[in-house]
Amino acid sequence: MILPTSTLVFALGAFLSLPSASLGGLVQKQGLAVPPAYGSHQGEVKQIFLDSYNAYKKFADGHDDVSPVSQTFSDGRNGWGATIIDAMSTMKIMDLNDLFADAVKFASNIDFSKSKTSDTVSVFETTIRYVGGLLSAYELSGKQYQPLLDKAKEVADKMAYAWVGKNNIPYGHIDFSTNIPSTATSNIAEAGTLTLEWARLAQYTGNMTYKALAENAALHIANLGVQFPGLPAQGIDPSTGLSVGKYITWGGGSDSYFEYLIKYARTDNSVSPDFADSWRTAVDSSIQVLRKTSTVGDHVYLADYDGSKIRHVGSHLACFHGGNWLLGGQLLNNVTIVEIGLELTDACWNTYARTATQIGPEVFAFISKDGGYTGGSPPSAEQNAFYELNGFYITAADYVLRPEVLESNFYAWRVTGNVKYLDRAASAIQSFRDYLSVKKADGTVGYVGIDDVDNKESSRIDDTESFWFAEVLKYLYLTFDDPSRYSLDEYVFNTEAHPLKVPSGTADATYGTGKLRTSYSPFKTTTGSTPAVSPIPNIGNVVARVVDGLVESTVKTRGSNRRSRRSKHRRSFASASL
């Protein structure tokens, strides 16, 4: 049952018995150490990184992505060398100092004044990969390489032209040759996931305009009229500042907006309490409205809401939520949120454990006591049979090197110290080596995605996205690293997994007011089409558009020969595309 908004606010407050303020808690389990029996796995991850990066250097050096099968490259991130910049923080964490030094030299000479391709520039993707990567590398290297900061400033100065008008919401893409943005609708993930990077840039340059632009965008979204407290619709129109449609999800198009609310509060104790309060309110509403349990396996998941019905869908993109709830629950000393975060993490891991390759699919669905509506076709006989055995069924079987499941697994290990999360990470390493590696006659070894995770003989996807280096391999490596080196009580990771230092200690920190936020604005929406964002280059992309918040798309399903792809993690509308 969907509760009326007024009833929902009351019910949520009673459910969690919230205090008037939240004294900050530590995130990591104290005294945590990786048992010696797991000591070999970190070296295995490092070797995968070296093999993957060697393939990049050999076939794509200076370009954005490598295509190891065809031994060529693609430039889907404006040709500025996305893999090099995205890999820098991982190099530093892995103590690959020679590679890092070479990357610094490369980064110092990037010309961000113009795109090297004919593409417009994604404000979101460029922020999380380039600005985030450069600033993290600057910090991790002891702030000794001024060009890294200079280059982050250079590209941010160009992107600042995306803010047009009085609505605080930047347009998603901009033409660097003219500094004119593409006047298209956007989504809350693109517009609301800039605070970590732009505020840190403001801190180092002394120009608070960067911080103000990013903060105002996120707060505008947080103060929109909503159907359920804390849960803004996925689409947004920068020209009006209004929501586009009524679709609600923790998946692509919305995800990292929610992610950054609590992370930004952690990085700066002086920011508005609205950030932490908005996150808490979103979580509370999600517990009541979106949290569901599968009829087989009792797997806990967060469904989507299409404006009138619950959609029992999930996606690899959305599986960051377990780790995010663990982080926020620990910071807020909220056991309920932590426990549900662990349940979400387990359900996402189940999508790995139950496939033939033990790698999770792109999109999947569930059946709960509330039904099994997905907005698309009912499950086939094959999908029903799979569900009865596994507690979910697959609707898009590809794996495109996404990190989210392993990201949440990393948080679960650091929070609980339960070695089952180490076993899961070790299993993923073996699966990646068995099914993703591409070994060429010249000895080069690369890593690529696959079309069907439930088929050990699956065809390959000839692309190594830069987030393979930035996220997947970093989270795996850190899972087996000394937890005190890059502690979750000392660093916050941006949505591309670039670590940024946070204020030391949490004993005297508070996060928000402890109160749930209430929308005093009416829920207003506008109509419009929101295209899928940031397509993965060079491999074919999903044909998708969002009309009034609902996705119309051609999506690959099990047994289909049609190839479709979604965007970089957390940015497509994959969770809605069933």
Q: Give the integer Cα–Cα distance in Å for 71 and 8.
A: 55
Which has the closest alpha carbon to 114: 174, 68, 56? 174
Partners of 66 in the beta sheet?
A: 73, 464
Q: Are strands 363-365 and 393-396 parallel, antiparallel or unpaired?
A: antiparallel
Active site residue 496: no
* Nearest CA-CA partner of 403 in 329, 535, 538, 495: 495
User: Is-catalytic flag, 362?
Assistant: yes
- Among candidate residues 284, 304, 404, 462, the one labeled active-site is 404
374 annotated binding-site participant: no
Q: Which two tokens stand for residue 536?
A: 């993965």
Buried b (16+ CB within 10 A) or exposed e, 444-462: bbbbbbbbbbbeeebebbb
Write down the catalytic residue from 75, 362, 471, 489.
362
Asked if residue 344 lies in contact with residue 302, where contact means CB atoms within 8 angstroms, the answer is yes
Exactly one of 51, 65, 255, 259 is catalytic; which is it? Answer: 255
- Residue 186 half-sphere exposure toward CB, CA atoms < 13 A: 31
Active site residue 125: yes
Does 404 participate in catalysis according to the annotation? yes
Q: Which residues, other chains included, contact 179 with Cβ-Cβ below 8 Å and sequence gap of 6+?
A: 158, 161
- On whether the CB atoms of residues 436 and 448 are closer than 8 A, the answer is yes
Terminus-to-terminus CA distance in the chain, angstroms? 23
* Crossing angle between the packed helical segments 97-108 and 132-140, to the nearest 10 degrees: 130
Residue found under tokens 């209430």: 518
The catalytically annotated residue of 51, 64, 65, 125 is 125
Q: Strands 363-365, 313-315: parallel, antiparallel or unpaired by DSSP?
A: antiparallel
Q: How far, rounded to the nearest angstrom, does the alpha carbon of residue 532 sit from its chain's CA centroid?
A: 15
Annotated binding site: 495
Annotated binding site for Ca(2+): 495
Residues catalogued as catalytic: 125, 255, 362, 404
